[in-house]
Amino acid sequence: MQFLHELKKMVVGQEGEAGGQSSLLDNLLEMLNDQKSGGITGLIQKFNEKGLGDHMSSWIGTGENLPISADQIKDALGNDKIKELASKLNLGEHDTSKSLADLLPQLIDRLTPDGSVPHPDMLSQGIDRLKKTSPGG
């Protein structure tokens, strides 16, 4: 799961809001690893149900990633999830949605380097390893 570590370095290494982006990444990784909500497969299903399956497919595939707007992210994840994340991150809902729109395509792209979704156990192990190597984790 070297790609998770590389993603963490890429996000944390960014100028500006590195701490906030790192926290957002941690929350996204938890969401993708949460089997109660379906994990990454559940997220894919939500995007498909909201008519955003082409976006998700482009992030999983090996080609160009389709951009997504803050409003589309809010529609796919739902108001409650955006409010929950905004509260955890101490950000406004729009800023949270915008940050998710910037980060989620990169994250999904990195989690699926060969164009396929990793098995939940493999994803879970990689996320656990990533958290152990992160500052404060």
> What are the domain boundaries of the chain?
2-133
Matching residue, tokens 């929950």: 84
pLDDT in tens, 20-66: 555 888 888 888 888 888 888 899 999 999 999 999 999 999 989 99
Instruction: Flag whether the pTM goes above 0.75.
Output: yes
pLDDT in tens, 57-113: 999 999 899 999 999 999 999 999 999 999 999 999 999 999 999 999 988 888 888
Q: Which CATH superfamily is domain 2-133 in?
A: YidB-like (1.10.10.690)
pLDDT over 80 at 4, yes or no: no
The whole-number pLDDT of residue 8 equals 59
